[in-house]
Amino acid sequence: MPELPEVETVVRSLRGHIIGEEIRALRLTDFPGVLGGESLEQVNARVAGRTIRGIRRRAKYVVIELDDDTALVVHLRMTGRLSAVASGAPVQRHERLAIAFQSDRELRFSDQRKFGRVVHLHPVDLDALEQRLGREPLSPEFTPEWLLERLARRPGKIKAVLLDQGLIGGLGNIYVDEALYLAGIHPERSANSLAPAEVAAVYQAVREVLQAAVQNRGTTFSSFEDPEGNPGRYGARLLVYGRGGKDACPRCGTPLARTVVAGRGTSFCPACQPPPEAASGRGEA
DNA sequence: ACACTGCCCTGCGAGC
DNA sequence: TGCTCGCAGGGCAGTG
């Protein structure tokens, strides 16, 4: 399920293939909803003839910038894939949309579960998107001081808060579980109960996990592949994600626990990540 | 303003 | 063997 490192991998991989391409037309296969409610005709009327000026990542979004300051914004959600192919390439499994260029190339969007979207946004919409997304966790603006100050205002569970895209943009279930494990913080601790040293540990863990995952081209858990069809290599490094109720803690050997937090399957070590009650001496209300 | 729940969707694996 | 069922989860709407 693509999070920041997977989306970053997709963007880097596509960058050399689609910049400078002039859009001829978008083409649907079987799922008009992929365009987010707009009709194919509406979108085509606006993007035909536009040239791709750049491609970047913002949180978990792929932003394909066009030469009129609008953009095609892609969210892969769980199973979305993008790939640049020759225009004659066979329709892919679960293909939802093709963006045909004036050259003999196309950008294809496939998505098994139909959760992903490709929408065309005007500058005002892009600004609105930017406004409701939080800080990039690998940017210089993401600092321990800032995180401490923000977490102090949030009584919710730390895992839910870290998943809040309006606070930090790009973290998802895999890397939150990994980061909280590395930081030794139970996922159900109240965010505002974390001592400064604990916030610093969370900060450090988030940065380390994301940087290592980007370097390894992401995690392939169920189906992620980059646009060249390569799996991510970070999956082999996962310490707790998906292991609760199955494996032992790689650090202390205690069986990993599994629960649901913020509606997400959650794995953690009950020994290395003491529950809120046990952590009360360190600040839990 | 914040927290929480349910919904969308399909493939896969467990269980019978 | 073949079926049913539960699970996976990001973002958003609706509710409290």
Going by C-alpha positions, the residue among A12, A15, A54, A1 that lies closest to residue A217 is: A12
pLDDT of residue A233: 84
Residue A113 three-state SS? coil
pLDDT in tens, A182-218: 999 999 999 999 999 999 999 999 999 999 999 998 8
Q: Which residues pair with A74 in a beta bridge?
A: A62, A118
Cα separation, A135 vs A117, whole angstroms? 22
- Which pTM value belongs to this model? 0.93
* pLDDT higher than threshold 70 for residue A279: no
Fold of A4-132: N-terminal domain of MutM-like DNA repair proteins (3.20.190)
| Lookup result for tokens 């640049």 | A84
pLDDT of residue A45: 96
Q: Is the CB of A59 under 7 A from strand C?
A: yes
A33 touches strand B (CB under 7 A): yes
Regarding the domain delimited by A144-282, which CATH topology (the fold level of the hierarchy) does it fall under?
Helicase, Ruva Protein; domain 3 (1.10.8)
Number of alpha helices (DSSP H) and beta strands (DSSP E) in chain A: 7, 10
The pLDDT value given to residue A285: 41
Q: What pLDDT sits at residue A252?
A: 95
CA dihedral A138, A59, A222, A217 (to 10 degrees): -40
Query: Does the pLDDT at position A284 exceed 50?
Result: no
pLDDT (mean) for A239-267: 91
| Confidence bin at A227 (pLDDT 50/70/90) | confident
Does the CB of A263 fall within 7 Å of any strand C atom?
A: yes
- Looking at this protein, which amino acid is placed at residue A83? S
**Can you tell me the mean pLDDT for A7-25?**
95
- For the cut 80, the answer to whether the pLDDT of residue A225 exceeds it is no
Residues of chain A with CATH 3.20.190.10: 4-132
CA distances from A171 to A4, A51, A108, A251 (A): 6, 31, 25, 24
Residue A4 CB closer than 7 angstroms to strand C? no
Does A63 have pLDDT greater than 60? yes
* CA–CA gap between residue A43 and residue A27 (Å, rounded): 10
Task: Provide, in whole angstroms, the distance separating residue A156's CA from nucleotide C15's C1'.
Answer: 18
Question: According to CATH, where is 1.10.8.50 located in chain A?
Answer: 144-282
Give the confidence band of A166 by pLDDT, cuts at 50, 70, 90: very high
Which pLDDT belongs to residue A221? 59
Q: Are strands A117-121 and A257-261 parallel, antiparallel or unpaired?
A: unpaired
Whether residue A2 lies in the annotated active site: yes
> Rounded to whole angstroms, how far apart are CA atoms A32 and A69?
24
Mean pLDDT of chain A: 91
Which residue among A77, A114, A207, A264 is the active-site one? A264
CA-to-C1' span, A224 to C4 (A):
28
Q: Give distance CA A63 / C1' C11 (Å).
A: 17
For residue A38, how many C-alpha atoms fall within 13 Å in the half-sphere facing its CB? 16
A32: CB within 7 A of chain B nucleic strand: no
Distance CA A276, CA A217 (A): 34
Residue with structure tokens 């032992």? A248
Q: Nearest Cα to A57, choosing from A169, A205, A150?
A: A169
A276 CB less than 7 Å from any atom of strand B: no
Q: Which nucleotides of B are covered by protein (CB under 7 A)?
A: 2-11
Residue A283 pLDDT level (bands cut at 50, 70, 90): very low
- DSSP at A262: T
Nucleotide showing the shortest C1' distance to residue A171 CA: C10
Instruction: Answer whether residue A76 shows pLDDT above 60.
Output: yes
| Chain C: bases < 7 Å from a protein Cβ | 7-12
The residue whose two tokens read 């600040």 is A283
**How far apart are the C-alpha atoms of A124 and A111, rounded to whole Å?**
28
* Cα–Cα–Cα angle for A207, A209, A214, rounded to 5 degrees: 95
